[in-house]
Structure 1
Amino acid sequence: MAPIVLVHGIFNYLAGVEPQVAAARHVARCRPRLVESLARFPVDEPEVVMAYYADLLRRDTPAWSQSPGGGENFTSMTAGQRRDAAEWLVTAGYCGPGDPQGRPTEFLRTWLDQLVGARGGRLSRIAQEQVVNRLERVIVASLREADAYTAWPGRRELVQERVAGVIRREAPAVVIAHSLGSYITYETLHAHPDLEVELLVTVGSPLRVPSLARRLDPPLRAGRGARPLGLGRWVNIADVGDLVAVPPKLGEVFPVDADETCDNGIDFHSLGAYLGNGLLAAAITPYIS
């Protein structure tokens, strides 16, 4: 059985660790969730390999890039990033008082709090604060790492070569791409049309976030994304509370074969939560049997 290849998202940089070691450590941490989820199906435990690229976003980039913690808040962003964050919140459904596009500096935290409150149902105030804190860090880190990937000379090519190299070497039937990794995987499959993947599963994908969609290579044409030549089936899964995956239905823009929603609770965006979800297990089982 060919291994499953994971392509990680944000918050995965391990300082001072060789890429192969970092990849193995991340796999050791998240693979048990996938194995547990697959236990209900008549399949063998799969081998899992990670395409680790976080070190490439760190090299020669500013100190904020791939920060291991701290500093991920709205006030630490550039003016352009704050405008992108405001647009992100509008896309996620913010419709409260004020003009998010006109005053992105002062009120982003308030807007995010209102948005989580409106979508959070019966969340306690403490739980809502935890969600807001986590989402703020995720949005800031996503925009910063997207900047490092798309704007720094040669970075896109280096990351795509790394991810393509792992897919080419392992020849997986299944690639699971999380968060920013789904963006990178989509571009990589286009940039390397020799790669063949039977099933791509994107989870927590920001491919439709406006500030990221505008930077895609290849760009959208007439508002639509093209299907990579070597891609078979594409399944997208988004948690109902995952404000990174907004709007959640990738199929409205990209050639997705199945759009699924799930509820991972307060652990709305982590790769581990998605790997432990039965929808993902059901999607990949026919390809690893």
Structure 2
Amino acid sequence: MRVLGVHGVGNHREGVEPDVAAEQLAGVWRRHLGRGPLGAAAEAYELTVAYYADLLQEAGGQSVGAVTLDDLDAEAEELLRAWLDEQGLPAEPPMGLTAWPFRQALSWIANRDLLPPDRVETFVARLFKEVGAYFSAANGARRRTAARDVVLGALRERAPRVVIAHSLGSVVAYEALWRYGDEGGEPVDLLLTLGSPLALPHAVFHRLDPAPSADGVGARPPVVRRWVNIADTGDLVAVPRGGVARRFLGVDEDVTERIHAFDFHLVANYLATGSVARVLGAEPVTAVAG
């Protein structure tokens, strides 16, 4: 069975050729699928990963691991504030301030979820640096188009039966799948989204292409026959909880479960879950020789 993976944030491999980076990521994904309930059955999947992370980096800029909140531009900060609106912050922060400063808000979230504040800040800065780069209108949305074209090219070349998309990758895959269908691409039996921010109001949902309908509803790409979404209950990216099924028509399952206490967003932990094994196990597997 041909499976296409579309990676999320934090996967930029500096100094590595895109084809090599894609091959490396495919090995990582295959290994983590195999350590879950699928076990050796994962070896039967003809898995490739579409790599676009290099296209979201600034030339000569910092590596993604070094990103801090101070590195976010105005567009990324706007997305971050939209995300904070979904986090249940108290209406008024301490000392009568009229708006939550970013670090203070992230510290509150870290305390609420019993997470290390520095870890939350690093994670959020990295997330919105890349999400901001993807949605940036600068240069005619050049980065967005280029990233989407990588996934579209992989769909054309591989004609996968299954697309697994994680984090920001679910956004790129969603938009690419609409275009793939418009050009008469082969049907995709399953779209499996993991830790997806697709339903996040204003930061993501209202910026999608194609845009939601006038009454605020998105839809499953017509080329996709079945759509399953899985989110960790503590995943800070997959908000609002249960939002994918509420916001999009044609979602067959929207599963929310506890996957990991601290590494709630890692694709490695998602791929090894029983839910992923169950969903993939429902798809017929054709062994690949060689």
> Which bin holds the TM-score, normalised by the shorter protein?
0.7 to 0.9
Tell me what 1:53 maps to: 52
Matched, 1:270 2:255: no
> For residues 206 and 61 of structure 1, do their structure 2 counterparts lie closer, same or farther at Cα, with a shift above 3 Å needed?
farther
Residues 188-238 of structure 1, C-alpha deviation per residue, up to 9 Å, x if partnerless?
Answer: 111221332110010111112221222111111111112212011100011
Q: Could you tell me how far 1:187 is from its partner in structure 2?
A: 0.6
1:98 maps onto 2:98 in alignment: no
Q: 1:155 aligns with which of 130, 143, 150?
A: 143
Aligned residue in 2 for 1:68: 64
What is residue 224 of structure 1 aligned with on the other side? 217
2:122 corresponds, among 137, 148, 165, to: 137
TM-score by length of 2: 0.85
Whether 2:79 is the aligned partner of 1:84: answer yes
Distance 1:54 1:251, change over 3 A: same
Cα pair 1:87 1:101 within 8 Å, conserved = no
CA distance in 2 between partners of 1:274 and 1:19 (Å): 24
Gapped regions of structure 1 (runs ≥ 5):
none
Aligned partner of 1:198 in structure 2 is 189
The secondary structure found in structure 2 opposite 1:87 is helix
In the alignment, is the contact (CA less than 8 A) between 1:149 and 1:155 conserved in 2? yes
Map Cα deviations across residues 61-80 of structure 1 (whole Å, 9 max, x no partner).
5725xx3311322x332344
In structure 2, the CA distance between the partners of 1:186 and 1:283, relative to structure 1 (3 Å rule), is same
* C-alpha distance in structure 1 between counterparts of 2:39 and 2:143, whole Å: 41
Could you state the TM-score of these two structures normalised by the residue count of structure 1? 0.85
Q: Which runs of 4+ in 1 moved over 4 A?
A: 40-44, 99-102
What percentage of aligned pairs have identical amino acids?
A: 36
Residue 254 of structure 2 corresponds to residue 259 of structure 1: yes
Alignment match of 1:281 (pick from 274, 277, 280) = 277
Shift of 1:180: 0.3
AA of the residue aligned to 1:261: T
- Confirm or deny that 1:243 pairs with 2:236: yes
Matches within 5 A, 1:28-43: 28-39=27-38
Q: 1:96 to 1:241 in 2, by over 3 A?
A: farther
Residue range with higher mean Cα deviation, 30-39 or 256-265: 30-39
| Whole-angstrom CA distance in 2 between matches of 1:78 and 1:158 | 20
Q: CA deviation at 1:101?
A: 10
- Matched residues in 1 for 2:159 and 2:237: separation? 29
AA aligned opposite 2:86: T
Q: Which residue of 1 aligns with 2:226?
A: 233
Contact conserved, 1:96 with 1:111, CA < 8 A, in 2? no
In structure 1, C-alpha distance between the alignment counterparts of 2:59 and 2:245, rounded to whole Å:
34
Deviations 1:113-146 (A, max 9, x none): 222333x3xx4xxxx21xx333323322222222
Q: 1:165 aligns with which of 153, 168, 176?
A: 153
The reply on whether 1:111 has 2:111 as its aligned counterpart is no
> Structure 1 residues 63 and 276 mapped into 2: Cα distance closer, same or farther (>3 Å)?
same
Cα distance in 1 between the residues matched to 2:217 and 2:105: 29
Check whether the contact 1:43–1:285 (CA below 8 A) recurs between aligned residues: no
Given residue 198 of structure 2, which amino acid in structure 1 is its aligned partner? Answer: L
CA distance in 1, matches of 2:97, 2:16: 40
CA distance in 1: counterparts of 2:60 and 2:216, whole angstroms: 33
SS of residue matched to 1:284: helix
Unpaired runs of 5+ residues, structure 2, are 286-290
Task: Say if 2:4 and 2:160, in contact at 8 Å, map to a contact too.
Answer: yes
**Equivalent position of 1:182 in the other structure:** 170
